[in-house]
Chain A
Amino acid sequence: MFTDLSLRWKIPLRVMGAVLGTAFMVTAALVAREYEDTQRALEAHTQSLARVLANTLITPILHDDIWRAYEILRSARDPDMLGPDRQAELFVVSDAESRVFAANRPKDFPVGSELASSWIASPELNHILRSDSLEQHVVTSENQSYRIVTAPLVSDGIILGHVLLGYSKRFYLPRLTELVRRALFVTLLVLALVLPVSWVWAHRTARPLLDLARAMSHVPNALDAALAAPLPAIGDEIGQLGASFRRMLEELLKKQALEQQVAASERLAAIGRLTAGIAHEINNPLGGMLTAIRTHRRHNDDPQLGEQTLSLLERGLTQIRNTVAALLVETKAEDRPLEPADIDDLIILAEAEAHAKSVRLLREGGIDGPLPLPASLVRQIVLNLLLNAIQAADPGGTAALSIRTEPGKLLLSVRNDGAHIPEDQLGYLFEPFVSGRAQGHGLGLWVVYQIVHQLGGGLSVHSEPGQTVFSIEMPYEMPA
């Protein structure tokens, strides 16, 4: 494709195109002009010749002197003057009955033959020959190849016949070929002169652009190499472009460094939050358990207290174990496929909570049959999201579960119309121990995220005033 060509080719080709286009236009204009001039001159010349012949041929017609008429017609065409195709080439005299009296080409127009049945006779011409018109007329021959000038032979007001002069409508063809040949020659000459110049010019023009293009090709993978590449040190637009590009590179490098710093500090912050969350979750039961152990030491003779202490320790340790288990979500375990009944169970389980909070629970869609997805994990994430939604909804508000399937995909979404999640919290929403509420340990969404992620699905949140939507997309293998 031309558009994909390098500038070092494009520029000479465009110069060539411009030269050829100009040559074509100029030649066309010249040819058109030449054609008009020649035609006008030819017609005028033919008409004046017809006038002369019309006068000269009266005597031969009156004297019935066919030979004399032929001699006049024969000599009317000058083979040397003007060139054979720039004067009339057909000369015919007809008598009063429109029969051929004589012609310079007797084989085409035999003496005595009807002019009306000859190859030049058009209805228009026949009409003129029959009419009383004393004027000259110009008509086109029947086969469209000749222009015919007619002039009546008038003696004492009587029309004795007509003289017909014809010239070929293709008279300009030899001239045309000549003009085109000359234009072609000049064009080739100009091209021969212009091409080397445009070649050098194209290289000089293209080199800075090519340098720039080479330097830019290193972005974004090797910014250092791009910065080191030679750039045009000139003052024109390309030079300015090079300078701008260099500034852009420097900015890009700065931005890259800054982003690396930000990413590192954010990672540290996340680790800090996670550590604080874990410490807090473990510290809470630990404090109660240590107090219980100290109380037991002081009153170690009370068997009832011992039993109480042990059960408190057990509860505390169980809480810690649960917290740790929640952090290490495991999806590898064998599980049964998800069935339509599971969805019904989820609604029933969430119903009680919704009822308690006076929240309307809606269900949209469902699944038609069992899907090859781990049922207990899906139940866990949907229940987590549903309970969150009911919690988030205002009393009298609505929470909704929407389920549908696409080939190879389960699409779930849970929404509520409660207060929306502020934008600055959205980024940390799925981190552990982050909770928008007073109750809860803040691991619900972390678990949801871990399960969806490990099942190869996607999770997105969309929250705006009046509506918060969690959407989940979970792929499964289609049964063969």
Chain B
Amino acid sequence: MYRCPHYHRRMDTSQLNPLRRRCLLATLAALATPSLLARTESVVRIGLTPVFLDDLASFIARWRRWFEKKLDQPVSFIQRGNYREVVNLLRTGKIDFAWICGYPYVRYRHELRLVGVPLWKGRPTYRSYLIVHSQAGGQRSLGDLRGKVFAYSDPDSNSGFLYPQYSLLSSGENPARFFGRTFFTWSHRNVVESVAVGLADGGAVDSYVWETLLELHPDLVQATRIIERSPEFGHTPFVARARIDAALFSRFRDILYGMASDLEGAALLRELRLDGFAAAEPRLYDSIARMAKLVGQY
């Protein structure tokens, strides 16, 4: 079983840091000097993408309030229709942090700073699932979907686009011509629905989203069947813009790492079906980078 050594080492420090930071914050708040207040009044902007079930508005509101309480600063969540817009906002410094996919991270890794990675089932990894309708008996592998309608989630998604492209290339197929027709649903959840209702014959979906949906909407997910599981990839990272204020970066990082040990934070994580957020090395995303490089050649 794969275990990231950095992840273990950094977990220890991450559990210390928030405590220390919180004491400092409490002292600062008690002093309540005007200059400090002015700094805390500036809004922290966090971009969200459909790497998780971002259509749960009440959850997102509660998570935002939790961040506000922890940061002691107004927090604004920015949601956009696709990954690219969020990544561009991040690259142009319009937002401070974002939860994005490993694929845009490896593409712009020099413009971004890795904050942390979600732990799902105790691990900082996930897979890409290739799914078909549960009643499509004849389809047992990606090769059986030749000429069919295929649903990708987002052109900047690793699990929902890059991996199936890479998989086809590896087996000597041209991804641009292999399927009869393809379309983007702009979220993993919609890939599952597309396949379940028969709009697409097959689709590529984030394993974390698929498994979570299986709990939330079993009827929808049970109408799909997995025909291929990818190897493990580094999970969707929390990143910051390159020129982020160092203090804000470390404060935010510590809050994120300490989410699991916080009562409310742990409850929010349970809703996300995650175990927490942990530190990660950029090397975690090297496999995605290799795929991106290969796909980019074509």
A70 touches B199 (CB 8 A): yes
A67 CA / B199 CA spacing, docked (Å): 8
Question: Which chain A residues lie closer than 8 Å to B190 at the CB level?
Answer: 67, 71
Is B178 interfacial (CB 8 A cutoff)? no
B185 touches A111 (CB 8 A): no
> How far in angstroms is the closest Cβ of chain B from A283?
131
Q: Mark each residue of chain A from 88 to 118: 1 if its CB lies under 8 Å from any CB of chain B, else 0.
A: 0000000000000010001100111000000
A64 CA / B184 CA spacing, docked (Å): 9
A67 CA / B184 CA spacing, docked (Å): 7
Count residues of chain A with CB under 8 A from any CB of chain B: 12
Is B197 interfacial (CB 8 A cutoff)? yes
Q: Mark each residue of chain A from 121 to 144: 1 if its CB lies under 8 Å from any CB of chain B, else 0.
A: 000000000000000000000000
Instruction: Considering the complex, give the chain B residue whose CB is closest to the CB of A67.
Output: B185
Is A178 interfacial (CB 8 A cutoff)? no
Is B151 interfacial (CB 8 A cutoff)? yes
Question: Which chain B residues lie closer than 8 Å to A66 at the CB level?
Answer: 181, 183, 199
In the complex, chain B residues 193-223 whose Cβ is within 8 Å of any chain A Cβ? 194, 197-200
Question: Which chain B residues lie closer than 8 Å to A70 at the CB level?
Answer: 194, 199
> How far in angstroms is the closest Cβ of chain A from B161?
14
Is A344 interfacial (CB 8 A cutoff)? no
A112 touches B180 (CB 8 A): yes
B197 touches A111 (CB 8 A): no
Question: Which chain B residues lie closer than 8 Å to A102 at the CB level?
Answer: 199
Is A78 interfacial (CB 8 A cutoff)? no
Question: Which chain B residues lie closer than 8 Å to A71 at the CB level?
Answer: 190
Q: Mark each residue of chain A from 47 to 71: 1 if its CB lies under 8 Å from any CB of chain B, else 0.
A: 0000000000000000011110011
B197 touches A106 (CB 8 A): yes
Question: Which chain A residues lie closer than 8 Å to B185 at the CB level?
Answer: 67
Contact of B149 among A64, A65, A107, A112 (CB under 8 A): A112
Q: Mark each residue of chain A from 66 to 81: 1 if its CB lies under 8 Å from any CB of chain B, else 0.
A: 1100110000000000
Question: Which chain A residues lie closer than 8 Å to B149 at the CB level?
Answer: 110-112
A111 CA / B181 CA spacing, docked (Å): 8
> How far in angstroms is the closest Cβ of chain A from B109?
29
Q: Mark each residue of chain B from 154 to 186: 1 if its CB lies under 8 Å from any CB of chain A, else 0.
A: 000000000000000000000000001101111
Contact of A107 among B183, B186, B194, B197 (CB under 8 A): B197
Contact of B186 among A67, A110, A111, A112 (CB under 8 A): A67
A111 CA / B150 CA spacing, docked (Å): 10
Question: Which chain B residues lie closer than 8 Å to A111 at the CB level?
Answer: 149, 181, 199-200
Given contacts A67-B186, A70-B194, A112-B149, contact A106 B181 (CB under 8 A): no
State the majority secondary structure of interface residues on A: loop
Question: Which chain B residues lie closer than 8 Å to A112 at the CB level?
Answer: 149, 180-181
A110 CA / B202 CA spacing, docked (Å): 13
Question: Which chain A residues lie closer than 8 Å to B198 at the CB level?
Answer: 106-107, 110
Instruction: Considering the complex, give the chain B residue whose CB is closest to the CB of A103.
Output: B199
State the majority secondary structure of interface residues on B: mixed
> How far in angstroms is the closest Cβ of chain B from A59?
13
Count residues of chain B with CB under 8 A from any CB of chain A: 14
> How far in angstroms is the closest Cβ of chain B from A136?
26
> How far in angstroms is the closest Cβ of chain B from A94?
14
Instruction: Considering the complex, give the chain A residue whose CB is closest to the CB of B181.
Output: A112
Given contacts A70-B194, A112-B149, contact A106 B199 (CB under 8 A): yes
Instruction: Considering the complex, give the chain A residue whose CB is closest to the CB of B196.
Output: A106
Instruction: Considering the complex, give the chain B residue whose CB is closest to the CB of A65.
Output: B183
Q: Mark each residue of chain B from 116 to 154: 1 if its CB lies under 8 Å from any CB of chain A, else 0.
A: 000000000000000000000000000000000101000
A111 CA / B185 CA spacing, docked (Å): 14
Q: Mark each residue of chain B from 61 to 95: 1 if its CB lies under 8 Å from any CB of chain A, else 0.
A: 00000000000000000000000000000000000
Instruction: Considering the complex, give the chain A residue whose CB is closest to the CB of B190.
Output: A67
A67 touches B183 (CB 8 A): yes
A111 CA / B184 CA spacing, docked (Å): 14
B197 touches A67 (CB 8 A): no
A112 CA / B151 CA spacing, docked (Å): 13
Question: Which chain B residues lie closer than 8 Å to A65 at the CB level?
Answer: 183-184
Q: Among B151, B180, B198, which residue has the most Cβ atoms of chain A within 10 A?
A: B198
> How far in angstroms is the closest Cβ of chain A from B96?
30
Q: Among B151, B183, B200, which residue has the most Cβ atoms of chain A within 10 A?
A: B183
A64 touches B180 (CB 8 A): no
> How far in angstroms is the closest Cβ of chain B from A106?
4
> How far in angstroms is the closest Cβ of chain A from B276?
33
Question: Which chain B residues lie closer than 8 Å to A67 at the CB level?
Answer: 151, 183-186, 190, 194, 199
A106 CA / B196 CA spacing, docked (Å): 10
Q: Among B149, B185, B190, B199, which residue has the most Cβ atoms of chain A within 10 A?
A: B199
A370 CA / B200 CA spacing, docked (Å): 111
A110 CA / B147 CA spacing, docked (Å): 13
A64 CA / B149 CA spacing, docked (Å): 13
Question: Which chain B residues lie closer than 8 Å to A110 at the CB level?
Answer: 149, 198
Instruction: Considering the complex, give the chain A residue whose CB is closest to the CB of B194.
Output: A67
Question: Which chain B residues lie closer than 8 Å to A107 at the CB level?
Answer: 197-198
A70 CA / B184 CA spacing, docked (Å): 12
> How far in angstroms is the closest Cβ of chain B from A280?
127
Q: Among A64, A70, A111, A112, which residue has the most Cβ atoms of chain B within 10 A?
A: A111
A417 CA / B183 CA spacing, docked (Å): 120
Instruction: Considering the complex, give the chain A residue whose CB is closest to the CB of B180.
Output: A112
A70 CA / B190 CA spacing, docked (Å): 11
Instruction: Considering the complex, give the chain A residue whose CB is closest to the CB of B184.
Output: A67
A188 CA / B32 CA spacing, docked (Å): 82
A65 CA / B194 CA spacing, docked (Å): 13
A102 CA / B193 CA spacing, docked (Å): 14
> How far in angstroms is the closest Cβ of chain B from A77?
13
> How far in angstroms is the closest Cβ of chain A from B13?
43
Question: Which chain A residues lie closer than 8 Å to B151 at the CB level?
Answer: 67
A71 CA / B185 CA spacing, docked (Å): 10
A121 CA / B151 CA spacing, docked (Å): 27
Q: Mark each residue of chain B from 269 to 287: 1 if its CB lies under 8 Å from any CB of chain A, else 0.
A: 0000000000000000000
Question: Which chain A residues lie closer than 8 Å to B183 at the CB level?
Answer: 64-67
A106 CA / B184 CA spacing, docked (Å): 16
What is A's interface to B at a CB cutoff of 8 Å?
64-67, 70-71, 102, 106-107, 110-112
A-B contacts, 16 of them at CB < 8 A, read A65-B184, A66-B183, A66-B199, A67-B184, A67-B185, A67-B186, A67-B190, A71-B190, A102-B199, A106-B199, A107-B198, A110-B149, A110-B198, A111-B199, A112-B180, A112-B181
Besides the known contacts A111-B200, A112-B180, 10 further A-B residue pairs in the complex with CB atoms under 8 A apart: A66-B183, A67-B185, A67-B186, A67-B194, A71-B190, A102-B199, A107-B198, A110-B198, A111-B181, A111-B199
Which 10 A/B pairs are nearest by Cβ-Cβ distance? A66-B183, A107-B198, A106-B198, A106-B199, A67-B185, A111-B149, A112-B181, A70-B199, A106-B197, A67-B183
